[in-house]
Amino acid sequence: MKEKEFQEEVQYFNCKMGEVIEQKMQGCSNKILYDALNYIKDTGGKRLRPIICLLSAEAVGGSREKALFTAIAIELLHNASLVHDDIIDENHIRRRNPSNPARYGEKKAIVIGDFLFGLSCEMLSRCGVPEVVGLVSSAVSDIAMGQYLEFTLRTLQEATEQSYMEVAELKTASTFMASTEAGAVLGGGSEVEIEGLRNYGKNLGIAFQIQDDILDICGDPARTGKPVGLDIKNGERTILVIHALNHSKPSEREYIKGILTRKREFDGFDIDRVREIFVNSGSIDYALQLSNELVNNAKKCIAGLEDSEAKSKLQLITDLTAERIENRV
d(CA 128, CA 166): 31
Please check the confidence at residue 137 and state whether its pLDDT lies above 70. Answer: yes
Q: What is the pLDDT of residues 27-63, one digit of tens each?
A: 788 887 887 788 787 766 789 999 999 999 999 999 9
Q: Give the lowest-confidence range in 175-179, 227-231, 253-257, 298-302.
A: 227-231
Q: In the chain, pLDDT over 90 holds for what percent of residues?
A: 63
Give the confidence band of 12 by pLDDT, cuts at 50, 70, 90: very high
Q: What is the pLDDT of residues 197-235, one digit of tens each?
A: 999 999 999 999 999 999 999 877 777 767 788 888 888
* Neighbouring residues of 164: CB distance < 8 A, sequence distance ≥ 6: 153, 237, 238, 239, 242
CA of residue 207 relative to chain centroid, distance: 10
Region 157-164: what's the mean pLDDT? Answer: 87
Q: How far apart are the first and last CA of the chain?
A: 18
Opening angle at CA 155, ends 151 and 157, nearest 5: 140
Please check the confidence at residue 72 and state whether its pLDDT lies above 90. Answer: yes
Average pLDDT, the chain: 90
Q: Residue 165: its pLDDT value, please?
A: 96
**29 touches 84 (CB < 8 A):** no
Please check the confidence at residue 129 and state whether its pLDDT lies above 60. Answer: yes
**What residue spans define the domains of the chain?**
2-326
Region 272-294: what's the mean pLDDT? Answer: 95
**219 touches 287 (CB < 8 A):** no
Q: In the chain, pLDDT over 70 holds for what percent of residues?
A: 96
Give the confidence band of 329 by pLDDT, cuts at 50, 70, 90: very low
**Superfamily of domain 2-326, CATH level 4:** Farnesyl Diphosphate Synthase (1.10.600.10)
Give 215-271 as a DSSP string. HHHH--HHHH-S-TTHHHHTT---HHHHHHHHHS-HHHHHHHHHHHTTSS---HHHH
